[in-house]
Chains A and B, each alone.
Chain A
Amino acid sequence: MASTHALLDVSGAEKTFGANRVLGGIDFSVARGEFVSLLGPSGCGKTTLLRIVAGLMAADRGSVRLDGAEITNVPTHKRNVGVVFQNYALFPHLTVAENVAFGLRVQKFAPEQIGKTVERFLDLVHLGEKASQPVRGLSGGQQQRVAVARALAVAPKLLLLDEPFSALDRKLREGMQIDLKRILREVGITTVLVTHDQEEALVMSDRIAVMNRGEIEQFAAPADVYLRPQSLFVLGFVGHAARIEGHVLTSQNGLVEVETPLGLLKAPGNFVSGSTVTVAVRPEYIRVNDASPEPDSNMIQATLTEIVFQGSKSHLHFIGNGDTPILVEASQLPRDLRPGATATLTWRFGDGLSFPPERSA
């Protein structure tokens, strides 16, 4: 989707290492001011795509455009693309302020301007009082903020973040995510975040590109990715869902009727009769022992195996015919239900999803 106001436009990017096809012709574009996440499992090619955009690696085929200019063959130091590396890559022989000043110094800015800019960005990331300290003694979170300030100080056109939170512990991570989002909005910079953490992508992004084996499977707003996943892979990678495989009996009026080990199920979709289909449903749409189920609902029997209390909500793990695991999210702990009990689970046809089999490797 090469739109005219795209700031970044990657088209047909291919990369192969030996026999390992890491990127299979990726098209990827980001609008000015947008915050986009590249979400995918380890080894799917996220870092490779990022390095191609930064010019740290050459694609075998395809082109990169930035701000309307073709930069496919422009070397990294002339691209003006900022990168925050996974391990931050701070210069160990320089102080915090010298790290932030590095880009301005090599680009021969005037000393007064360097001083002012460094101060401004250190204040932005709340590290003003650490300016003259060595970077060695900083905590992980502080190092990350130095890396962000260093990248932003040269006013790049685009900021790339490669798993910037993966070195931080969970508690710290959430606070840092919100903090970073605030900083980047304040600066108003277009950002691409690489992550394999779906929650992080959902929290931070305007749009999420879900990657699998060197391809982008879906590129959409977080709510779309969650509510309307376009493939079984996206469904499985973002959030939880019960999956029930079966064969199509009929398919009409946008509703497909599927024969499964749990009985006949209906879900939105169009398929050829007889084809293999997976019906899926998110945990929060399933009701347990609903006395007056809505019309047009699927209804199955399943056995409760475990209750996991999660504070504001509970996860009920059921198992249905054919050893099908079914996860239900309930806002309250069920009183009358003990593990081992059988229950009736219902959800509206319209709340389900249907997918063709996952593409093979």
Chain B
Amino acid sequence: MNASSSRVDPVALLAAPAILYMLVVFALPMSVLVIRSFSGSSGPTIEAYTSFLGDAFNWRVIGNTLRIAFFTSLVCLLIGYPTAVALARSKGAVQALLLVAIILPLSVGVVVKTFAWQIVLRRDGIVAAFLVATGVWDEPQLLLFTETGLVLGAANVFLPFMILPIYSVLKLINPNLQDAAATLGASPAQRFFRIALPLATPGLFSGTSIVFSLAASMYVIPSLLIGDRFQTLATLTGRAFLLMRDERLGSTTATVLLVLSILIVTVSAWAVRPKGGR
């Protein structure tokens, strides 16, 4: 009895390839980066961090990163949740078509998509034309090189990563639950807040975590849509390695980004943990 209970579950071994792969290509290089950020000419030091955090500019960079990631996640959530609901309710050919429409854009590279957004967001682009035509703007303005433009472009690229996890959770929910709640006297709003939303939470959470992490670490999209004036932790890391050849700065910014992402995802996972019986 004892011998068998201490043995590893054979099914768990199926995760071995993934763990090995992540160790080699992610954890190992990442640890090298972290170690480098702590290395000084005379032994380990946190000097890199104190000087990084001592600079007001870098706090603005952290602020930029979190703000852009937050608004990108928010836009994706607001568009993605209703889309996932529609997707889960649709049937047959309509559902297949919707899925293709959501997944196919992933095959268009980020660079191509971002260039397309450059055209869309120009002063004479369709977004500006639309806003002028509907009277929101008095005259055409440039959306390109603004944070709004960046959020719109990033949300467009990352939207599928919001929709698909939510959809995969929604399609497992028994559709009779809404009916059952209605027969017990729950109004449409009560059904939404007490049944639909709590049950969708795991999907909403994974989608948001994925999009937030992607948006916090994106490099190509801000480079093309907003340019050098606007720095995030990811673009700063890129500059440090590619332009400034400052490995310690690059390692530091990369580590700060990693720690922030882990922190935010963990704290929000704790905040939305299932409270009822499960």
Contacts and interface: CB of A to CB of B under 8 A. Distances in A.
A92 interface: yes
A98 B276 contact: yes
A91 B182 contact: no
A80 interface: yes
Contact of A134 (B176, B180, B186, B278): B278
Contacts of A187: none
B278 A106 contact: no
Interface string A69-86: 000000111111111010
A359 B274 CA distance: 56
Contacts of B199: 92-93
A56 interface: yes
A85 B184 contact: no
Interface in A68-125: 75-83, 85, 87, 89-96, 98, 102-103, 106-107
B183 interface: yes
A103 B184 contact: yes
Nearest to B274: A93
Nearest to B174: A89
Contacts of B186: 77, 102-103, 106
A92 B202 CA distance: 13
A89 B179 contact: yes
A106 B178 CA distance: 13
A30 interface: no
A319 B260 CA distance: 83
Interface residues of B, number: 22
Given A87-B176, A89-B176, A106-B190, A82 B277 contact: no
Contact of A85 (B180, B195, B277): B180
Contacts of B194: 102, 106
B125 interface: no
A95 B186 CA distance: 18
What is the size category of the interface that chain A forms with chain B? Answer: 35 or more
Contacts of A273: none
Given A85-B176, A93-B276, A54 B185 contact: no
Nearest to A93: B276
Contact of B277 (A79, A87, A98, A102): A98
A95 B174 contact: no
B130 to A, nearest CB: 38
B177 interface: yes
Given A77-B187, A103-B184, A106-B187, A94 B277 contact: yes
A106 B277 contact: no
A316 interface: no
A136 B277 CA distance: 8
A76 B277 CA distance: 27
Interface of B: 174, 176-177, 179-188, 190, 194-195, 198-199, 274, 276-278
Interface of A: 54-56, 75-83, 85, 87, 89-96, 98, 102-103, 106-107, 132-136, 150-151, 154, 156
10 contacts: A54-B183, A56-B182, A75-B182, A77-B182, A81-B183, A85-B179, A87-B174, A92-B199, A93-B278, A102-B181
